[in-house]
């Protein structure tokens, strides 16, 4: 049995080697800064090279070791390269954060298979490839590890506005989370997911407007959120650090909803 821990030590990531996939997105950016501030050494992977370097500079300013990899997990080679960068720079990989994803809403009768594939590739295939590459490394190391995937309240709830691809992809992320938690538990690797409701990002910024179509969508969302506001990327950081730190060593296979109470109703 592990001895008593101070609260600060329970959430300490000092010396851990972390990979953030999708580091240039709204959640990926705050996740990268939070990991650096918590003491981790961080590999940042993303497809937007200029923004990736900007995020890298922000994390370095916190005193963290940083390596950038200008790739998305579109192929096995991409995912393997991200993990290899962590091994080369920091001697291994302890923490994986999947922060990437997309949406392309349309009624199913108007959505071509190519659009479906694009959403499923970004939200499920890419995370699956990244998990496979990271899992190989963590298992070989024999020292455990932690993975956090990005789900959504839409993995649990449907939506009338053409979300057949998005909801299906996020439900699959939940299933992947549970399957890997069972598969990797004997290796000491925990796998969990964060399920936000709408939070401010490049995809959702229009929903934060004070007038126009976005205002109507916002009002509809707020009528179901007990805390009375939409989310910010920073709202996800507390759950992320919990799931990556020793504080969550006996937590695996879970989807933690950070949604202002949206799924409570």
In 3D space, the residue among 80, 47, 52, 79 whose CA is nearest the CA of residue 66 turns out to be 52
CA distance 188 to 195: 23
- Contact partners, residue 232, CB within 8 Å, separation at least 6: 199, 200
CA distance 48 to 194: 24
- Active-site residue set: 166
In 3D space, the residue among 101, 98, 32, 95 whose CA is nearest the CA of residue 65 turns out to be 32
In whole angstroms, how far apart are CA 50 and each of 43, 46, 126?
16, 10, 21
Sheet holding 95-98, edge to edge: 66-69, 41-45, 17-21, 95-98, 145-150, 189-196, 255-258
CA distance 238 to 204: 21
């Amino acid at each position: 049995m592990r001895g008593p821990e101070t609260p600060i030590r329970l959430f300490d990531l000092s010396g851990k080697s972390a990979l953030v996939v999708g580091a240039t997105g709204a959640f990926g950016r705050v996740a990268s800064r939070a990991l650096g501030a918590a003491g981790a050494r961080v590999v940042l992977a993303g497809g937007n090279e200029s923004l990736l370097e900007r995020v890298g500079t922000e994390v370095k300013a916190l005193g963290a070791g940083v390596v950038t990899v200008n790739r998305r997990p579109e192929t096995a080679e991409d995912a393997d390269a991200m993990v290899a960068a962590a091994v080369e720079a920091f001697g291994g990989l302890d923490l994986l954060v999947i922060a990437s994803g997309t949406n392309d809403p349309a009624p199913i009768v108007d959505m071509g298979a190519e659009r479906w594939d694009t959403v499923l590739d970004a939200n499920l295939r890419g995370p699956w490839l990244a998990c496979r590459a990271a899992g190989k490394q963590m298992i070989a190391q024999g020292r455990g590890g932690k993975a956090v995937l990005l789900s959504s309240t839409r993995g649990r709830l449907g939506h009338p506005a053409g979300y057949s691809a998005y909801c299906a992809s996020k439900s699959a992320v939940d299933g992947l989370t549970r399957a890997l938690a069972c598969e990797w538990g004997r290796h000491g690797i925990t796998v969990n997911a964060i399920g936000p409701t709408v939070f401010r990002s490049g995809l959702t910024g229009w929903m934060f407007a004070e007038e126009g179509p976005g205002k109507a969508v916002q009002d509809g969302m707020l009528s179901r959120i007990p805390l009375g506001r939409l989310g910010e990327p920073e709202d996800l950081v507390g759950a992320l650090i919990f799931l990556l730190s020793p504080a969550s060593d006996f937590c695996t296979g879970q989807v933690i909803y950070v949604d202002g109470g949206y799924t409570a109703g």
